[in-house]
Chain A
């Protein structure tokens, strides 16, 4: 009997502690989330563009950032550089090839805490059918309450990728630089 009680109490304690350690689930709010990029053009100025708000889920625990996970998806067809010819070039097979690869995704595989509200997130970025592991610095930009009392947390990543690693080799430098500077800003709602 004592042995049975022991097993039950151990099981109960495990359940209590594991639920306390679970991160909260968040969903990205595409209306208040952004993907912005810029790229060097003719080694002179920069061209800027945006994608429609990223969708996906975030698991976040403010007390232990290493438990944070990201599973984010971006609709590539939403690219906008404020010039229709350029947008069509970018959506075509020379660049993003949206008919064949309509989304780009990022799935985190590991997190290393670098500060109170900063972390290096390693994950698989899939773009144009090519998956590469990248590490991006992510900042937790804050937590607040929404109009309906829901909890919202912001995340911001600022990083560069080499487009040739993802098969985008058209218009090589000096026409378009290989390094793409990307800012991903996500406002996620706690579920």
Chain B
């Protein structure tokens, strides 16, 4: 085990407990009376939980953050948390949220890629990557916001926990970045905490705060991992990364017209199972490749 029990307790369990307590206090799932909209609680607490995870698993962030691109993961959590908080309090229209998110994301991705331009990525290619990654972030954000709006309850945190879990395995075993894998694990733990409370009370809404913050923080870790893993990823690794990115779209199967009159549990299964199968394929392939490489006999490099 590359992490100490204390790191796991403080870096994964503590953020989940913190979020669970915050949700319980803000939403009062035990109360039968309708409570006020408390979505404002999600973004700041998830951002704080992410920073706690970073503090436990990563190099302590220095200032200014330009010294090491890794520090940006810690500092980016602050604007992500503030964005989610403003989103839940001010409730701006969808188009405005999308524009702000795209602008913010272009800045984030540019800063993350900056140390590799032009040594590893040419300036024109970097622009293409910034465009593509901003569109992917927007796609994920729209998908999960839509899911959270259409299917209150456990669906959104369940699928986010699964996506973050598969990302953790991909990061730690496929891309060889265990600390990033552990931070994705912290997002899994926080999603599970939300899922448990949503099972208790399905009034808890995960749009405008929860889904957005988890999605953006997970995207940050994945982008950093993809560009800073040790070497060029094989075609297989690229395919698994693509499948991971596309997997949330499979949750739309629950919107098929034939399922409209089905029971909620049935619709939940139809949403979750295709996503879980896709993520299962990603995880199985990643673990198999890791095990194969580990079992291979060590060979001296060519002279």
Contact = CB atoms under 8 A, between A and B. Distances in A.
A170 B179 contact: yes
Contacts of B69: 100
B115 to A, nearest CB: 5
B175 A83 contact: no
Nearest to B225: A93
B175 A92 contact: yes
A164 B59 CA distance: 9
A153 to B, nearest CB: 25
A100 B111 CA distance: 13
B59 A88 contact: no
Contacts, number: 72
Contacts of B67: 129
B256 interface: no
A80 B68 CA distance: 24
A92 B70 contact: no
A82 B298 contact: yes
Contact of A94 (B4, B115, B179, B296): B179
B177 A84 contact: no
B68 A100 contact: yes
Chain B interface: which size bin? Answer: 20 to 34
A98 to B, nearest CB: 6
A89 interface: yes
B293 interface: yes
A171 interface: yes
B59 A85 contact: no
Contact of B177 (A94, A100, A169, A175): A94
Interface of A is mostly: loop
Interface stretch (B157-165, B227-235, B244-252): B227-235
Interface in A133-191: 167, 169-172, 175
A167 B228 CA distance: 16
Contacts of A129: 67-68
B115 A93 contact: no
A100 B115 contact: yes
Given A97-B228, A100-B68, A129-B68, A82 B120 contact: no
Interface string A70-100: 0000000000101111011101111001111
A170 B120 CA distance: 25
B116 interface: yes
Contacts of A85: 176, 290, 293-294
B300 interface: yes
B231 A172 contact: no
Interface of A: 80, 82-85, 87-89, 91-94, 97-100, 128-129, 167, 169-172, 175
Given A94-B178, A129-B67, 12 more contacts: A82-B299, A84-B296, A85-B293, A87-B230, A93-B228, A98-B230, A99-B120, A99-B228, A100-B115, A128-B68, A167-B59, A175-B1
23 contacts: A82-B298, A82-B299, A83-B298, A88-B229, A91-B176, A91-B230, A91-B231, A93-B179, A93-B180, A93-B224, A93-B225, A93-B229, A94-B178, A97-B228, A99-B116, A99-B228, A99-B229, A99-B230, A100-B69, A100-B116, A167-B59, A170-B179, A175-B2
